């Protein structure tokens, strides 16, 4: 059985003293904050909130650049190949940092070796949603329906190897059910087709699915986090529906090129943690369904190792490949 936990992520909120020496470095020109996905998603939203606060604290503009393609690899490689001087930073994600290495054999870089972690930034749950026409008011009813009709229902994802694909495959492995995968070019069109009823279900990230849930366009049956979402208090967790091992969280972390000096990493870490500790920032992220989560670089490295191992097992057991 595959065990998935957010403990390592949420444990990364420990206080870290001794930051005075981190003030030595300061940027000498504007910073590029690369997001490897299109505008509008949770990763982009968090990056823009952080960029706003970082530029006030650093005294330099912080511009978000959306560089998309190859499951996020294009944006990641852009930062990997950038000068390691603190002026190019990346909002890495579960997929780009810990899933893609198991899926792409010719990436040309290794996130674990070619990037240095600065801090965790956010975590989001996924939510199991179905079209209202599906004859299931609860997750247990959905499982009974799928088991009675193996292979006849379908779920949408943002594409092969994305978090919305991997989390759904984890759900299938743990529940031992057969639901057909329909990959799309991004989570937005997959959600649109779920709303339209062209696919019956999706395990979307909570921030993007929430408006459709609130509007009654889809029905929420379960969330993948360790506890119920404050935004969906009536929706049970995977553990509550008897699938504790299907718990999963998508997260984002700020990264820089591997050769970036320690003093630069420390300064950026301090600024990011200060920003994420601000109640206004936490409220802005919470409104979208994301939790502000900070960490030390060491804690982030440990999280990446654990998540890389976990999702590697899902890729192997579900026999997931990319085109």
Q: Which CATH number fits the domain that encloses residue 233?
A: 3.40.190.10
Where are the extended beta strands (E) located within the chain? 31-35, 62-66, 88-93, 115-130, 154-157, 180-183, 201-205, 219-223, 249-257, 290-292
Q: Is the domain of 72 the same as that of 139?
A: no
What are the phi and psi torsion angles at 93 (to 5°)? -135, 170
2 lies in some domain: no
- Nearest Cα neighbor of 121 from 230, 269, 254 is 254
Q: Is the domain of 131 the same as that of 103?
A: no
- Out of 246, 264, 293, pick the residue that ends a domain: 246
Q: Please report, for the domain that includes residue 281, its CATH number.
A: 3.40.190.150
Q: Is the domain of 139 the same as that of 203?
A: yes
User: Do 285 and 68 form a contact (C-beta atoms < 8 A)?
Assistant: no
pLDDT of amino acid 323: 54
pLDDT of amino acid 19: 42
322 lies in some domain: no
SS3 57: helix
pLDDT of amino acid 152: 96
Q: Is the domain of 227 the same as that of 95?
A: no
pLDDT of amino acid 300: 97
Q: Is the domain of 232 the same as that of 303?
A: no
Q: How far apart are CA 206 and CA 35, in angstroms?
A: 19
Q: How far apart are CA 28 and CA 99, in angstroms?
A: 34
105 lies in some domain: yes
Q: Is the domain of 131 the same as that of 241?
A: yes
Parent domain of 164: 125-246
**What does each of the 323 residues of the chain score in pLDDT, given as a tens digit?**
444 444 444 544 444 444 444 457 999 999 999 999 888 778 898 999 999 999 999 999 999 999 998 889 999 999 999 999 999 999 999 999 999 999 998 888 999 999 999 999 999 999 999 999 999 999 999 999 999 999 999 999 988 888 899 999 999 999 999 999 999 988 889 999 999 999 999 999 998 899 999 999 999 999 999 999 999 999 999 999 999 999 999 999 999 999 999 999 999 999 999 999 999 999 999 988 899 999 999 999 999 999 999 999 999 999 998 85
Q: What residue has token string 């989560």?
A: 293
- Out of 246, 273, 293, pick the residue that ends a domain: 246
Q: Is the domain of 302 the same as that of 261?
A: yes
Q: Is the domain of 65 the same as that of 88?
A: yes
Strands 115-130 and 180-183: unpaired
Q: Is the domain of 162 the same as that of 301?
A: no
Where are the extended beta strands (E) located within 188-292? 201-205, 219-223, 249-257, 290-292
Give CA angle at 68 (253, 276), nearest 5°: 25
- Out of 231, 246, 261, pick the residue that ends a domain: 246
251 bridge partner residues: 123
pTM listed for this prediction? 0.84
Q: Is the domain of 28 the same as that of 73?
A: yes
Q: Is the domain of 146 the same as that of 222?
A: yes
Q: How many domains does the chain have?
A: 2
1 lies in some domain: no
323 lies in some domain: no
Q: How far apart are CA 35 and CA 64, in angstroms?
A: 7
Q: How far apart are CA 278 and CA 292, in angstroms?
A: 10
What are the phi and psi torsion angles at 250 (to 5°)? -90, 145
Please state the separation of Cα 84 from the chain's center in Å. Answer: 25
Give CA angle at 121 (46, 250), nearest 5°: 85
Q: How far apart are CA 200 and CA 221, in angstroms?
A: 13
Structure tokens at 198: 């062209």
Strands 88-93 and 31-35: parallel
195 lies in some domain: yes
Structure tokens at 159: 């594409």
Q: Is the domain of 94 the same as that of 145?
A: no
């Amino acid at each position: 059985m595959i065990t998935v936990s957010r403990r390592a992520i949420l444990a990364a909120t420990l206080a870290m003293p001794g930051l005075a020496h981190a003030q030595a470095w300061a940027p000498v020109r504007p910073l590029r904050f690369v997001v490897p996905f299109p505008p509008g998603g949770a990763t982009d939203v968090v990056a823009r909130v952080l960029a706003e606060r970082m530029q006030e604290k650093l005294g330099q503009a912080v511009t978000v650049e959306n560089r998309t393609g190859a499951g996020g690899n294009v944006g990641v490689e852009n930062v990997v190949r950038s000068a390691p001087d603190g002026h190019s930073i990346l909002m890495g994600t579960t997929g780009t940092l810990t899933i893609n290495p198991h899926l792409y054999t010719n990436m040309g870089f290794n996130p674990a070796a070619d990037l240095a972690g600065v801090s965790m930034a956010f975590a989001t749950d996924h939510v199991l949603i179905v079209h209202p026409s599906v004859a299931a008011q609860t997750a247990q009813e959905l499982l009974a329906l799928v088991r009675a009709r193996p292979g006849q229902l379908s779920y949408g994802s943002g594409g092969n190897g994305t978090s919305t694909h991997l989390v759904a495959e984890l759900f299938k492995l743990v529940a031992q059910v057969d639901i057909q995968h329909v990959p799309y070019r991004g989570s937005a069109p997959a959600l649109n087709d779920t709303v339209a009823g062209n696919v019956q279900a999706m395990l979307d990230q909570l921030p993007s699915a929430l408006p459709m849930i609130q509007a009654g366009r889809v029905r929420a049956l379960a969330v993948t986090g360790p506890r119920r979402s404050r935004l969906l208090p009536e929706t049970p967790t995977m553990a509550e529906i008897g699938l504790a091992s299907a718990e999963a969280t998508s997260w984002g972390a700020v990264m820089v090129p591997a050769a970036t000096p320690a003093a630069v990493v420390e300064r950026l870490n301090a600024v990011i943690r200060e920003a994420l500790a601000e109640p206004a920032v936490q409220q802005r992220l919470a409104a979208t369904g994301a939790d502000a989560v900070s960490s030390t670089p060491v804690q982030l490295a440990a999280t990446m190792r654990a998540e890389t191992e976990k999702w590697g097992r899902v890729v192997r057991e579900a026999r997931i490949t990319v085109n």
